Structures are given as C-alpha cells and as structure tokens.
Structure 1
Amino acid sequence: MEKQFNDLSESRQQQLMAFDRLLTIMDELREQCPWDRKQTMDSLRHLTIEETYELSDAIIENDSPEIKKELGDVLLHIVFYAKIGSEARLDNGFQFDIKDVLDGICDKLVSRHPHIYGDFVADSEEAVKQNWEKLKLKEGNKSVLSGVPASLPALVKAMRIQEKARGVGFDWDDKRQVWGKVEEELAEFKDNFNIETGEVLDQKEAEGEFGDLLFSLVNYSRFVDINPETALERTNKKFIRRFQYLEEASKADGKSLAEMTLDEMDEYWNEAKKLNA
C-alpha cells in the first residue's frame, strides 16, 4: 500500500517537495524559455555526456560541493528527457513521463533483488552479481555482453566486458594465473619489434598484441581491486600538475621550454615530484 504524503517523515516530505519544485521549474522553462523549448533528446545528448564527465572529475577529486552541483546538473537532464518524452504523444504516440521513469527503475530494482524482495538467498556480493546477470538473460537479453554500451570508451568497456563475463562464472580462479597472462601478452608484444633497431616488424600484429596486453592488465586490475579508468585518470591529472609546474617554474626563471634541454626540464620535473605536485 502506498504511503500518504502526511505519513512520511519530515525529511522525506522535504525531499519530495524539492523534487516537485524541480519538476515545476522544468515545466515553466519548457513553456517560456526559447532555449529550453528548442531542445530535443538529440541536442541534449552531448551535453549529458559532458555533465557526466564533470561529475566523474568531481568524484575523483573528492570535491563534495562540486559533486553536489554536478549531481544537480545530471538530475536536471534526467527530468528534461522525461519532460520531452511526455510531449512525444504529439508526434508519434510514444510517450513517457518522470513517473514512468521512476516506476520503471523501481520495478527493475525489485525484480533484480529477489534476495531482498523474494525468497532467493544470496550471502555474498559475488552471488548477487551472478544472479543479476542470470535475471537479465531471463528478461530477454540475448547475450551477457549485450548490456555493455557500444559507445563506451575502450578502457571502461574492457572492464565492463570482463565484469559481465565474471558474472556468469567465466573468469580466472587465481590472480597468479592472470599475471601469467599479462607476462605472456607482454612477451608476444615485444616479439613484434626488433629490439636492436626499434623497428616494428608488423604494425597490425603489434597493435593487436598491444590491445591484448592492455586487456590482460585491465583483467589483473580487477583481481587487485583497482579501477583502471580511475587509476589512469589520476595519473593523467598528476602528469598535468607536474607539467604545469614545469611550465610555470621555468617561465619564472626566465627560461623557454622550446629552448631547454630534456635534462633541464627533468630538474623542474623532479622538483614537482618532491613537492608532491
């Protein structure tokens, strides 16, 4: 039985009122603002991707105020898409609104958690994941991997592919086996080069082996609880900080990067490392 508004706690009432305020503002903007009236799902798509990456950056930086702000931007986009969906009846008869979106995710969460809302027993995170993939297949997915978006960045996609395969038991038993695979792929990659001259013997083959090496490293990262996307992005940010220190410090000393030797640049780079930049 659904709860009545007055039966809810004060904090839940405030949450629902805040959400109602956002829905009301969205209705008003869609009706009155020339920019908002013009938007379509296609025009919003690239903006949504940008907002998602900004949220990701805030999470990596552990910046709580920024996380709150970016979550608001992402939530606005969800409400915006639902508003556009509710108007689709005027064009092709296909329609949904924010209630349909919320009901859909609630129904899915209940059906995907039979260990909470049913009689299935799952006493570990791994058991939950494996049953999740089995349920998705029962719901009509033709492949365990069909839930991996084709447009995902390659590194994230590799991780998700491996997680999906693990969900049905297709995985290594021991991380030592996985590390052995990393070493095997590294040796096969090296075989495509003349070590003395640095010449690539077969460019296409080398590319394939490099891909295999990266895939195996992503695989190993799962076994040691490292998110490869997060790890690489932290390294990207670290490199940017140190390089910008190199630029600023050398400029302050009246030097030009274009005229400096690599050894001179390394002095500033090592300074940045000592400063933990």
Structure 2
Amino acid sequence: MNPTNQFADLLTLMARLRTDCPWDAKQTNASLQKYAIEEVFELVDAIASDDKSTLATESIKGELGDVLLQVVFHAHLYDEQGRFDMADVIFTLQEKLIGRHPHVFNKENLTTDEDIRRRWDEIKALEAKDRPKRLLSDVKSGTALMYAQNLQKASATVGFDWENLGGVLDKLQEELGELQAELPRADFSYKADKLNQSQKDKIADELGDVLFVLANLARHLDVDAEMALQNANAKFKRRFAFVEKSLMAQAKTPKGSNLAQMNEYWEMAKADERH
C-alpha cells in the first residue's frame, strides 16, 4: 500500500463522516478532548503490554490508527473554521523537526545525547523568546506525574533544585514522615472509610507531596516517571493475568480463593519473568 494515497483517502473519509454521520457532525474540538486523551493512553498501554504476539501487533496498529484519527479529526475541524488544514499541520511539524535537528540538517557538531538535548532546549527557548511568560507558565501538563516532572525540570533551570540525589532522598523521608504523622494510629489497623473528611484531606495533601518528590527522584535518576509507572502497571496486569489463569486451571476464581493462594501464583509469575 502507498502511505501517501492511504492518507489522502483517510482525509476524504473524514470529510465524508463529518457530513454524513450525525455523531461526527456534532463534534467540536472541545468535545473531542477526552477522546484524544483516552486514545493516547490506550496506545501507551498497548505498547507497554507488547509481547510481540500477533494479537499485540494488531492492538498497537489499531491504537496508532485511533491516535491518528484524533489528529485528522481535530485538523479537519480547524480547517472548517478557516484557521489551518492538515497540510499546515504537517508543514509546521516538518519545519520544527528540521529546525531542532541542526546536527542532521545544518551539520552542527553534536555528538552526545546530552549535547542534542541541550541544543533542543536552546532552540525551543529561542522559538519562544518573543512570548512573554513566567517560568512555569509554558510547562506542558500531560498526566499529573508528567506535569510534576516537567515543573521540576523547569524550576531546575534557574537553580531551584537539590544539588544531588541525597537531598531528594532526604526530602522523601521527610515527606513520608509527615504523611505518617497524619495517620490516626501507629498500628495502621484501620480502614479508610473510618476516617473523617478532614483526616482524608490532610492525608491526601501529604500523599501528594510524597508523589511529587518521587517524580523528582525519578528526574534526578534520569528516569521517565510516567513510563516507569506505565511499565509497573503493565507488569501488574501481566502477573495478575497469570494468577487468574493458574486459578482457572483448578476451576477456581480470584474471588473464591484466599490471599495465600493468589500470592503463591504471584510469586511464580515473578520467578518466570526472571528467567
């Protein structure tokens, strides 16, 4: 298949849906926002769960298509408003990629990943120099975890950061202590539904601080916090699927089993992953 022809056919299909499908016809850029977010997360989940099987391959291909649909749909709506069309989107992307890769297109001598990332950030700053803003006003949001890491990265550019990993670890211990101090009893033998709203609010505030520091810890370790958690989610799903499958082989279900039985299969799943 010719990708150029396929893409042109997709644009034609989008226009047809916009005129002939009642649901597509009533959509706006605002109404589609939640679908754009959902589709991106479904793609990330499919990639994180990739086991190289035919089913996984088809899943990733389908999710990539769903994300592409969002791009095409939004561009078509803006085209209807007379603001820009899909060709403008592609041209803008091409110009950005060429401009931010001087080591490829202008033969600048950038040999390390650090040099390339530093130059990328410098070029981004030059592109934005005529837009007055405060330091954190242009930080991309994304998920809460991504936003936390991006905020910390931005503030670090002006020196508002710990000098080394030790400072982050000390802060983490401090925040964990503050969280524990808000818990009603030291033996932790209670359920959350026994807490009043004031207690829950204080705990949520301290837990947020812990999560924020964990995101910063990931940044200091040069780890993408969002991807680390996505991978952990995929790992949990994979291991629990093994637990369910093992129980089904004995005509059992998780609900009809005790924790000890499920933990036994969980440990087996962990052991299998290490081989």
Q: TM-score range by the shorter chain?
A: 0.7 to 0.9
CA shift digits 1:178-215 (9 cap, x unpaired)? 22322232233333346643388955443333222211
**What SS does the aligned partner of 1:239 have?**
helix
Give the conservation status (yes or no) of the 8 Å contact 2:48–2:234: no
Give the conservation status (yes or no) of the 8 Å contact 1:137–1:144: no
Q: Between the two structures, name the one with larger relative contact order (CA 8 Å, sep ≥ 6).
A: 2
1:157 corresponds to which letter in structure 2? Y
Per the alignment, residue 225 of structure 1 pairs with: 222
Farther off after superposition, 96-105 or 153-162: 96-105
1:24 corresponds to which letter in structure 2? T
Per the alignment, residue 100 of structure 1 pairs with: 88
Give the conservation status (yes or no) of the 8 Å contact 1:165–1:171: yes
2:210 corresponds to which letter in structure 1? L
CA shift digits 1:96-141 (9 cap, x unpaired)? 2123323434455566667777899877145225424533551315
Structure 2 unpaired stretches of 5+: 51-55
Per the alignment, residue 131 of structure 1 pairs with: 122
Structure 1 unpaired stretches of 5+: 1-10, 90-94
Number of residue pairs the alignment of both structures matches: 259
Per the alignment, residue 19 of structure 1 pairs with: 7
Label 1:254 to 1:78 Cα distance change in 2 as closer, same or farther (>3 A).
closer
Provide the aligned C-alpha RMSD in A: 3.6
Given the alignment of the two structures, is residue 212 of structure 1 paired with residue 217 of structure 2, yes or no? no
Q: CA deviation at 1:28?
A: 3.7
Q: Which has the larger radius of gyration?
A: 1
Given the alignment of the two structures, is residue 238 of structure 1 paired with residue 235 of structure 2, yes or no? yes
Distance of 2:157 and 2:39 partners within structure 1: 30
Q: CA deviation at 1:158?
A: 1.0
**What SS does the aligned partner of 1:134 have?**
helix
2:231 corresponds to which letter in structure 1? R
Q: CA deviation at 1:219?
A: 0.9
Given the alignment of the two structures, is residue 179 of structure 1 paired with residue 169 of structure 2, yes or no? yes
**What SS does the aligned partner of 1:42 have?**
helix
CA shift digits 1:33-82 (9 cap, x unpaired)? 45443433234333222221122122223455543433333223222222
2:65 corresponds to which letter in structure 1? G
Per the alignment, residue 188 of structure 1 pairs with: 178
Per the alignment, residue 69 of structure 1 pairs with: 62
TM-score by length of 1: 0.73
Per the alignment, residue 53 of structure 2 pairs with: none
Correspondent of 1:268 among 256, 261, 265? 265
Farther off after superposition, 214-223 or 177-186: 177-186
1:269 corresponds to which letter in structure 2? W
Distance of 1:144 and 1:132 partners within structure 2: 16
Given the alignment of the two structures, is residue 156 of structure 1 paired with residue 149 of structure 2, yes or no? no
Label 1:16 to 1:270 Cα distance change in 2 as closer, same or farther (>3 A).
closer
Give the conservation status (yes or no) of the 8 Å contact 1:130–1:168: no
Give the conservation status (yes or no) of the 8 Å contact 2:45–2:234: no
Label 1:194 to 1:24 Cα distance change in 2 as closer, same or farther (>3 A).
closer
Q: CA deviation at 1:272?
A: 3.0
**1:142-153 mapped onto 2 (5 Å cutoff):** 142-149=133-140, 152-153=142-143
1:271 corresponds to which letter in structure 2? M
Distance of 1:48 and 1:232 partners within structure 2: 20
Per the alignment, residue 3 of structure 1 pairs with: none
Distance of 1:173 and 1:120 partners within structure 2: 31
Label 1:271 to 1:121 Cα distance change in 2 as closer, same or farther (>3 A).
closer
Equivalent pairs: percent with the same residue? Answer: 37
1:146 corresponds to which letter in structure 2? S
1:75 corresponds to which letter in structure 2? L
Correspondent of 2:71 among 72, 75, 78? 78
